[in-house]
Amino acid sequence: QVQLVESGGGLVQAGGSLRLSCAPSGRPFSSYAMGWFRQAPGKEREFVAAIKWSDGETYYADSVKGRFTISRDNAKNTVYLQMNSLKPEDTAVYYCAASSRWTPKSFLLRTSPYDYWGQGTQVTVSS
């Protein structure tokens, strides 16, 4: 059984920064891409960022471009989400996800290609 474990969430003031981490636990596995999604109360889960393991190509939601950076450490099998210039509207539970198969770029923005999900970590940005 593969589990994804997120860490790094917390409470921060507007304009501040946080770095989220995601690493798999359990049996070894390889994935094609990793993604970060978020879900605010009363809203649907939305795409934040994704990265391909092979070449590090990244994709971002328009709402976080220029503020968030997704990166990977192949040696540690860990994905990070550096979040800068945080805004109150970034408040949500952030989820890490892994896609085990090749996925078209446009589909990486959807939840459906992702086979494994973490339990989520709360990010709260105060104004």
DSSP conformational letter for 32: S
Per-residue pLDDT reduced to its tens digit, 10-60: 999 999 999 999 998 877 677 889 999 999 999 999 999 999 988 899 999
The confidence score (pLDDT) of residue 8 equals 97
Which 8-state DSSP code applies to residue 113? Answer: T
Q: What is the mean pLDDT of the chain?
A: 94
Pairing of strands 18-26, 2-7: antiparallel
| Residue 81 · residue 19 · CB < 8 Å | yes
Q: What is the tens place of the pLDDT at every residue in 68-119?
A: 999 999 888 899 999 999 999 999 999 999 999 898 988 999 999 999 999 9
Length of the chain: 127
